[in-house]
Chain A
Amino acid sequence: MKKEKEKSEPTRRSFLNILWIILGGVALAEFVAVTFAFLWPRKLKARRENADSIVTAGTVESFTPNSVTAFVRGKFYLACLEDGGFLALSRTCTHLGCTLPWIEKEMKFACPCHGSVFDITGNVIAAPAPRALNIYPITIENQIIKVDTRKPIRRNSFRFEQVVYPNKKSCFAGK
């Protein structure tokens, strides 16, 4: 009986107790929020000012078709396809993040970690990798190739829209 009465009519004491609990909860929430905000990884915005993030790969003429050139600083491969188009491929395997070497003889990227194989367009030839290699946006101005390494673009497989062509197909210069 007594308990029911207490429940139906909140006393000043019970009201203040509830208030304290709520305040404590708010304080706890604030602490958790501060911790999360503190531990949150820094935004990629900071890298935008970094001039290093845009890598000048070289002139169109300096790449022969059907070749792959490694750029250690930008951590990518520049692939010049058979038809003279360009793709900037991430060197990170999409399976678990190992660094892919380009096997010139067999014309493929072979992952040393779990045996995934990718072709020159970054498409998966052999599992376990689930999707094609990430690419970076390329701009070609005055025959000079620039690669923006700020943010990799995820893709499931290679499509022709992804290839960037120079105005003149001077990638054939080597012929």
Chain B
Amino acid sequence: MLENNAMPDQLNLFQRIRYSIFPGTLARPKYRERYRSFFNSLILHFRPRSVNERSLRFTLTWGLGGMAVVLLCMLFTTGLMLKFVYQPVPDRAYESIIHLQNNVLFGQLIRNVHHWSGNILLIIVFLHLLRVFFTGAFHPPRQFNWIIGLAMFLGVLTSNITGYLLPWDQLAFWAITICTGMLEYIPGIGGWLQVVIRGGNDIGPPTLSIFFAIHTAIIPACLLILMPFHFWRVRKAGGLVIPRRLDEDEGSEDEKVPSIPNLILREIVVALVLIAGIMLISLFFDTPLGAKANPGLSPNPTKAPWYFAGIQELLLHFHPLFALFVIPVFMLMALVSIPYFNYQTKTAGVWFTSGRGRRMAALAALIAAIFTPISIVADEFVIDFEAWIPHLSPVVSNGILPAAIVMAGITLFYWLVKKKYSATKNESIQSVFILLTVAFIILTITGIWFRGKGMALMWPWELAG
């Protein structure tokens, strides 16, 4: 049709405009091919040129990192849309959500997509953290990337909490009252921190402004900075950790394949399936919205958001100083220090470090799954140190004493397991990690589904009544 040497001035107006945007597209197919390679090299600015074939296995990453990116993109777009309707003032916030749901076309759908993406993102990044830990992808040279990942995890968590307040309904108001109430127990700076975050003594208009600013500006900006940093560190580490079976050595031979189409196609498939899933969930499950916030009436039971249900459950068993400060800080410090222990064995790429590591992991999970529910029930109905030893202060009887018992249990477990299996440091630390993680998951499940009126322990089917 058109000759390769066709000049733009020989074309009609629309062809000339098209030519100005995509020079070369009017050329012969051979040149079009070359043009496609330009597009491909644009993709290669973001993705590696070639990847190790073994790191493409779905059972290495489960697509979790890519899913987190897709969810963040969905959150950014739907969040921007919501920003056009939402009004961050207590008198208007709830009404603007009602307006969004009832009068704005697709308003409810966009809100649902934002809600479900945010909640699922939290689960996905948690699973991503577990995957990285269990495949040993935190060993050098990936140590610092673990820390960046933790920072982003905290960012996603903060984003979820701050977003939780914005609808200004009863759910939001009281959940945030509890969450900011927790700050008071941080020794020294707690009271000050609470006033700064609330913008006053109580939750009010300043709180909503502050949470809105954190949710819509500060956290997105931080994530946009940290994300490329995270990916760049992956590239600097020579790509993903290379998976291997128990009997394989660390692969040295080059089995690289080009990213296009091997990696990019896989990523697109994961993204499309995820988007379809989120759309389906959003079509069938509406985001909950309670009555408008009423500072004079706490609903019974008042529950923290589900991701804090575990900490709220801890509150029922420990003095607040321990449940809200000592234990979470200890957990966070343990997470931060994971890549910096002096490991003797190289286990990067092996799921659960070794055959022995796998047996120990299963044992740890089993022990946590048995002892956590028993401890919860025992503490609920039998153990009451405060009444048994009334002359001690509650910080000791309800804080130091039970914490010491739990700590002793964990130490005993560590010591016994290490002795029985004559395990390496890698394997023992992994089994303690699993012990604590499973315990925390069980606490969270208890808090969500087994706590009813007055936070009494009950079966899930009794909750509604």
Bound Cα distance from A91 to B398, whole angstroms: 25
Stretch at the interface among A8-16, A20-28, A57-65, A109-117: A109-117
Q: Mark A36-59, 1 if CB is under 8 A from B, else 0.
A: 000111101000000000000000
Stretch at the interface among B64-72, B154-162, B194-202, B366-374: B194-202
Q: Within 8 Å of chain B (Cβ to Cβ): is A98?
A: yes
Bound Cα distance from A99 to B319, whole angstroms: 20
- CB contact between A114 and one of B184, B200, B315 (< 8 Å): that residue: B315
- CB contact between A95 and one of B195, B206, B320, B454 (< 8 Å): that residue: B320
Bound Cα distance from A66 to B441, whole angstroms: 46
Asked if A112 and B398 make an inter-chain contact with CB atoms under 8 angstroms apart, the answer reads no
Hey, which chain B residues are within 8 Å of A110, CB to CB? 454
Nearest B residue to A40 by beta-carbon distance? B196
Residue from B298, B316, B398 having most chain A Cβ neighbours under 10 A: B298
**A122 CB, nearest partner CB in chain B, Å:** 17
Asked if B195 and A41 make an inter-chain contact with CB atoms under 8 angstroms apart, the answer reads yes
Nearest A residue to B191 by beta-carbon distance? A154
Bound Cα distance from A44 to B199, whole angstroms: 11
Hey, which chain B residues are within 8 Å of A96, CB to CB? 177-178, 181-182, 315, 320
Asked if B398 and A98 make an inter-chain contact with CB atoms under 8 angstroms apart, the answer reads no
**B448 CB, nearest partner CB in chain A, Å:** 16
Asked if B455 and A113 make an inter-chain contact with CB atoms under 8 angstroms apart, the answer reads yes
Bound Cα distance from A40 to B369, whole angstroms: 45
Asked if A112 and B299 make an inter-chain contact with CB atoms under 8 angstroms apart, the answer reads yes
Hey, which chain B residues are within 8 Å of A44, CB to CB? 201
Asked if A99 and B394 make an inter-chain contact with CB atoms under 8 angstroms apart, the answer reads no
Hey, which chain A residues are within 8 Å of B316, CB to CB? 114, 128
B contact face: mostly helix, strand, loop, or mixed: helix
Chain B, range 158-178, C-beta contacts under 8 Å to A: 174, 177-178
Hey, which chain A residues are within 8 Å of B181, CB to CB? 95-98
Hey, which chain B residues are within 8 Å of A100, CB to CB? 298
Bound Cα distance from A1 to B315, whole angstroms: 63
Q: Which residues of B contact A (CB under 8 A)?
A: 174, 177-178, 180-182, 184, 195-196, 198-201, 206, 295-302, 315-316, 319-320, 386, 394, 398, 454-456
- CB contact between A41 and one of B199, B295, B296 (< 8 Å): that residue: B199
**A45 CB, nearest partner CB in chain B, Å:** 13
Asked if A115 and B455 make an inter-chain contact with CB atoms under 8 angstroms apart, the answer reads yes
Bound Cα distance from A75 to B295, whole angstroms: 9
Nearest B residue to A39 by beta-carbon distance? B196
A-B contact pairs, 11 of them (CB 8 A): A41-B196, A41-B206, A42-B199, A42-B200, A44-B201, A96-B177, A98-B181, A113-B455, A127-B398, A128-B319, A130-B394
Asked if B386 and A97 make an inter-chain contact with CB atoms under 8 angstroms apart, the answer reads no
Bound Cα distance from A99 to B299, whole angstroms: 9
Asked if B177 and A98 make an inter-chain contact with CB atoms under 8 angstroms apart, the answer reads yes
Asked if A98 and B320 make an inter-chain contact with CB atoms under 8 angstroms apart, the answer reads no
- CB contact between B296 and one of A39, A72, A127, A128 (< 8 Å): that residue: A72
Bound Cα distance from A164 to B456, whole angstroms: 37
Bound Cα distance from A25 to B294, whole angstroms: 47
Bound Cα distance from A97 to B190, whole angstroms: 14
- CB contact between A112 and one of B296, B302, B394 (< 8 Å): that residue: B302
Hey, which chain A residues are within 8 Å of B295, CB to CB? 75, 99
Asked if B301 and A113 make an inter-chain contact with CB atoms under 8 angstroms apart, the answer reads yes
Bound Cα distance from A112 to B294, whole angstroms: 14
Nearest A residue to B299 by beta-carbon distance? A112
Asked if B454 and A112 make an inter-chain contact with CB atoms under 8 angstroms apart, the answer reads yes
Nearest B residue to A129 by beta-carbon distance? B320
